[in-house]
Amino acid sequence: MSKKKLLILFILSSFELPSSFSATNLNVDTYIIEGSCDISAPAEIRFIPKAAIDFVDKRTADLKELVITVSNCRGSSLIRSPSIMVTGNLLAGSNDIFAEASSVAKNVGVGIREGNGFNLKNFYVPGNMVSSFDKYTHVGAPGSKMKEGQYTYTLGFVNNGKTPTIGKMTAKLIFEFKYK
């Protein structure tokens, strides 16, 4: 091949030829998260209707057991503790009695404690109740995965130390898997 032909081939090969292919960019992002679990519970619990006199010598008029099921747990936190966080609207002036402000009955609501085995006289104990100050329940060891299964609570129909008024009481509770 002559030098002239090589020079022409070299010149032609240095030009970019148009392509029939197209290109696109793809951005990929995700998050690193702590573990998670699914929580299920009954949609509704009803207390037996009570008279105001039922609260006279005790703060609790009725008890109901609640069982929460934890399933499909994935991952864990490196240093924080798995737990079930309980929140909801509180009775005015209380940090541990749950009731909606729209409730017609006043001075009553729902108290919550982990576990069972309580009676009407020993259920409501300030400092031992789920509260706005202590909303994390069934707390696991730091860095551990939440154990799947059933977790028991006791709900109490309680008053705030004042005479209850007649009407319907409603409380909405939220049980959520969280790391503490």
CATH number for the domain whose boundaries are 36-179: 2.60.40.1090
Q: What is the pLDDT of residues 130-158, one digit of tens each?
A: 999 999 999 999 988 899 999 999 999 99
| Structure token digits, residue 106 | 């006043």
The answer to whether the CB of 82 falls within 8 A of the CB of 146 is yes
pLDDT digits (tens, 9 = 90+) for 160-173: 999 999 999 999 99
Residues present in the chain in total: 180
**Angle in degrees, CA 146, 149, 37, rounded to 5:** 45
Q: What is the DSSP letter of 127?
A: T
Q: How far apart are CA 150 and CA 159, in angstroms?
A: 28
Alpha-carbon gap, residue 180 to 28, rounded angstroms: 30
| Residue owning tokens 């730091």 | 142
3-state DSSP of 88-135 = ECECCCCCCCECCCCCCCCCEEEEEEECCCCCCCCCCCCCCCCCCCCC
Q: What is the 3-state secondary structure (H, E, C) of 44-80?
A: CCCCCCCCHHHHCCCCEEEEEEEEEEEEEEECCCCCC
pLDDT in tens, 8-62: 544 545 555 555 667 777 888 777 667 889 999 999 999 999 999 998 888 999 9
**pLDDT at site 21:** 67
Q: Strand, helix or coil at 4?
A: helix
Residue 7: pLDDT over 50? no
Q: Which 3 state secondary structure label does DSSP give 5?
A: helix
Are the CB atoms for 168 and 103 separated by under 8 Å? yes
